[in-house]
Structure 1
């Protein structure tokens, strides 16, 4: 019985973290928000490098990039070697990225508010170990 309760709690927490960000849901979908978080303001990226970084196909990345360009959050520029295309966030993209980060922080703060400061620190350390293990696998 306890095991089922833990699984249900995990499903609820994971569902909350994947839910569209309420403040941004009219303008941007979760996959777009996730993609924007990979980009650093003022830096350019090649689509193939972004695909590799996301563990997605270049085709899948091109669909997300197309969506983001249509709503004005990223733009294409000539690449360094003139054969490639570089992707860069627009000023509006930087603002939306900042808003997404704020929403994520609020969700994290709300979820972790039930824990004591010590338990929060333990939880964060455990998550860091899980992420490190997943990245090395």
Structure 2
């Protein structure tokens, strides 16, 4: 399990923590999930300090050598290093719900909770639920 404190304050600490996370996942046979991976895989083209590129290089090296399942999440896909993107077998974009999906989800949860739904739920969903995700 990756601890939320993988990002260190000292130069080189991040690289050590990343390597340790991959080692622990290998040792435990665990899936490794890194949330907000853009913190570690920013495009090196925009790096202004050498340690920024070193951090990405360490992540790439670890990803390449890792034989387990690695999952990374970000909402800043455009800012990721291109070499990192090539190393992922599958990329899934989870976008906002379409209006009909938001309405169906609202109906399903409303029924489970015993809530009455308005007759014009479809119209309300179209007007008010354009930029909604299931977590909301």
Note whether the superposition's TM-score is higher than 0.5.
Answer: no
TM-score by length of 2: 0.23
Q: Hey, which of these two has a bigger chunk of strand by percent? A: 1
TM-score by length of 1: 0.23
Larger Rg belongs to: 2
